[in-house]
Structure 1
């Protein structure tokens, strides 16, 4: 089985859909990927939080030093797509429990059949960032170019958590995606300010309203 059909099958399985089959088992142009992002269901996730607020990971041989200046939050940010073991070797992880957790998870990735999306970001001490979903661009993946997109939301931590609202922590997410690629030339992420899912507005029904109704 060639690499592209194998990755098509992996993507179809990961996103919970059946692969399209051509006549007599042959592949045709009708099997091409749609242009919209495809959600990935069969992912694996590792999350880590450093309450000291230091950088969890960085490109190169050393982590950036943090200070009280306005650039400090940016120094905590990382977004990398890993498609080979060599990509991990190019990174430096914090020598903390959080940094080691991310490094160990990524090192266990079988890049013959999977890739990984690594993100790190600052978060206020009394807030938490929750992972929601990950998707890929199938059109790009068909050319062995992985473009993942991850969505997150923010929520307040439980009331019994002791925290200082003016401080920053650092959180990291390592997402293992069951599709392989030769490279990655793009990635994306989204952040919602609330993790509450809004209910659709109730449809107004004039027949159910009228004089004499009960006031709540």
Structure 2
């Protein structure tokens, strides 16, 4: 259990965070910005993974299979698989981490190991996963926290992403779906988290798509679909 006075001091300091430049390995936002009373976080750490089988990376508590006895409308196996690829969790303590199950795959293990290295006395983790088309990528553009909530010990992070084409030399099936996962370590401690935010830009504005994606054979494909 973290020392409460120390944690409170960290929270108070974090509520007045100023942007720090030069985050090695991070991507700088170009088409997103903090909203409400959010403060941009620059010195975060990131672990990004990709499961090319399209499986779930983070196992949610409500992932029990749908049965014929359920009163809710039936969900197809494909729809259920798509739902399981989505996960959004904010981890502010060892107990939060212990409540999360990760897929027993190399991608899931990388996320688990990264989260396990977090010092929750001074840091927190925003954990996300989502589906993406096999020929597309999802990039993290910016991270911010709600300052007013943080002053009360409530971490409300926001992550903004954008979609991009993968390099033209990457072999991929345009009909297949992969799963990408992000574990964002934020240098902020909190007592709890009552929510999170996220945004997705339709493109990362890094120039035109590779020539292979401009072929007439792919002209009927909606490139913004995951």
TM-score normalised by length of structure 1? 0.76
Q: Which residue of 2 aligns with 1:84?
A: 93
Equivalent position of 1:21 in the other structure: none
Paired with 2:109 and 2:43, the residues of 1 have a C-alpha distance of: 24
CA contact under 8 A between 1:153 and 1:191: conserved in structure 2?
A: yes
CA distance in 2, matches of 1:112, 1:160: 43
**Cα RMSD, aligned residues only:** 2.6
In the comparison of the two structures, how many residue pairs are matched?
182
Tell me if 1:16 matches 2:13.
no
Distance (whole Å) between structure 1 residues aligned to residue 89 and residue 42 of structure 2: 20
Matches within 5 A, 1:18-167: 36-60=37-61, 68-167=77-176
Cα distance, 1:15 vs structure 2: 2.9
Task: Report the more deviating stretch, 111-120 or 90-99.
Answer: 90-99
| Range with bigger deviation, 67-76 or 138-147 | 67-76
How far apart are residue 12 of structure 1 and its match? 4.1
Structure number with greater Rg is 1
Instruction: Tell me: CA distance 1:168–1:62, structure 2 relative to 1, closer, same or farther (3 Å).
Output: same
**Match among 175, 186, 195 for residue 195 of structure 2:** 186
Gaps of 5+ in 2: 22-34, 67-75, 208-226
Aligned to 1:201: none
Structure 2-normalised TM-score? 0.73
In structure 1, the residue matched to 2:215 is none
Q: Distance in 2 between matches of 1:63 and 1:161?
A: 35
After TM superposition, give the deviation of residue 11 of structure 1 in Å.
5.0
Unpaired runs of at least 5, structure 1: 18-33, 199-216
Question: Which of 4, 8, 14 is the matching residue for 1:4?
Answer: 8
